[in-house]
C-alpha cells in the first residue's frame, strides 16, 4: 500500500527528518495519484523502471506493487535507510547517487522506463541529461512543475515553446497527460504539477549536427523578442537564411524542429 499524508508525517517524525528545500523535496502522499502515475506510464509486470528522487517511497511502492523491477536513485543519504525500510521485501534496488552525474550506461542495460516525481529545481536537467545520455530509457513519465511540463511538450507557436521544447522534440514525442494538485504532497508546493509523457523516437526525426543546431536554438531563444536576423547576427548570414527557407524577420518561437535543422544544415 502506498503512503498517506499521515504515514509520511509519521516517518519523518520517527526519523527526525524534515523535507529539504535545497533538494526540492515534496513527498507524494496520495495513493490514488501514485497508482494514476503507474497507469499513465503503462507499467506492467516485468517492466524495468528507473525512478529518480524516490524520497520516502510512495511512488516506488506503487511501481513495485504493479510488478516492476525498480531501480531507485536517491541523492539524500538521510532518506536512504527510511526508503529501504519502506520498500523491504519488494523488487527494488536503491542506488545512492546524483541523477545529473550518474553513469547511465554503467547502471542500466536493456530497455527501461523512467517514472519519477522529480524535484522541481532539477527536473529539466535530469530529463535532458537522460534523453541525451541514456538511450536505454525508451519512455518517461515524470511529474514536474506545471509550467516546466508545458514547456517540455510545447510546439512551435505555443506560448510555452522554447529551447527545451526543441531539444525534447529531437529526442522524443512529448505530451502533458495530466495535472496534479499541490494538496497531495508533504509539504504542499505553491504550484500545480504536470505529468509529462515522453516516448523516445526510434531514430532522430532530422539529420543534423545536434551541437550546431542546439547552439542556434540557444542563441535564437536567448533574446525572444528579437528577430532571428538580430538574435543570430554574426552566426547566420542572409544567404544561409535563404538556403534554409527561413524568414530572418521571424522569431525563434515560430520555428519547428525541422526548421532549426534546415538552418543548422545551411
**What's the pLDDT score for residue 18?**
87
pTM of the predicted structure, to 2 decimals: 0.94
Mean pLDDT of the chain: 95
pLDDT interval class at 22 (50, 70, 90): confident
**What's the pLDDT score for residue 96?**
97
The predicted-structure confidence for 66-75, as pLDDT tens digits, reads as follows 999 999 999 9
**What's the pLDDT score for residue 1?**
57
**Are the CB atoms for 67 and 45 separated by under 8 Å?**
yes
- The count of C-alpha atoms lying within 13 angstroms of the C-alpha of 191, restricted to the half-sphere facing its C-beta, is 13
**What's the pLDDT score for residue 42?**
97
The predicted-structure confidence for 44-90, as pLDDT tens digits, reads as follows 999 999 999 999 999 999 999 999 999 999 999 999 999 999 999 99
The full set of domains in the chain, from first to last, is 5-200 (3.40.50.150), 210-265 (1.10.8.100)
Amino acid at each position: 500500500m502506498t503512503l498517506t499524508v499521515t504515514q509520511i508525517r509519521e516517518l519523518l517524525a520517527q526519523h527526525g527528518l524534515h523535507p529539504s528545500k535545497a533538494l526540492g523535496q515534496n513527498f507524494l502522499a496520495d495513493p490514488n495519484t501514485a497508482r494514476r502515475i503507474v497507469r499513465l506510464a503503462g507499467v506492467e509486470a516485468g517492466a524495468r523502471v528507473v525512478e529518480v528522487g524516490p524520497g520516502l517511497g510512495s511512488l516506488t511502492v506503487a511501481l513495485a506493487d504493479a510488478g516492476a523491477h525498480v531501480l531507485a536513485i536517491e541523492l539524500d543519504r538521510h532518506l536512504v535507510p527510511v526508503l529501504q525500510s519502506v520498500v523491504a521485501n519488494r523488487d527494488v534496488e536503491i542506488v545512492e547517487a546524483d541523477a545529473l552525474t550518474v553513469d547511465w550506461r554503467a547502471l542500466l542495460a536493456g530497455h527501461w522506463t523512467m517514472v519519477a516525481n522529480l524535484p522541481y529545481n532539477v527536473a529539466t536537467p535530469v530529463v535532458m541529461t537522460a534523453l541525451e545520455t541514456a538511450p536505454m530509457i525508451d519512455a518517461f513519465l515524470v511529474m514536474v512543475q506545471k509550467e516546466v511540463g508545458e514547456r517540455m511538450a510545447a510546439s512551435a507557436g505555443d506560448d510555452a515553446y522554447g529551447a527545451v521544447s526543441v531539444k525534447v522534440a529531437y529526442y522524443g514525442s512529448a505530451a502533458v497527460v495530466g495535472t496534479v494538485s499541490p494538496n497531495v504532497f508533504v509539504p504542499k508546493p505553491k504550484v500545480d504539477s504536470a505529468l509529462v509523457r515522453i516516448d523516445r523516437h526510434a531514430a532522430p526525426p532530422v539529420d543534423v549536427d545536434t551541437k550546431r543546431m542546439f547552439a542556434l536554438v540557444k542563441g535564437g531563444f536567448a533574446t525572444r523578442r528579437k528577430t532571428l536576423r538580430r538574435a543570430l547576427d554574426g552566426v547566420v548570414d542572409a544567404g544561409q537564411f535563404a538556403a534554409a527557407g527561413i524568414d530572418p524577420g521571424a522569431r525563434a518561437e515560430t520555428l519547428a524542429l525541422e526548421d532549426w535543422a534546415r538552418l543548422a544544415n545551411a
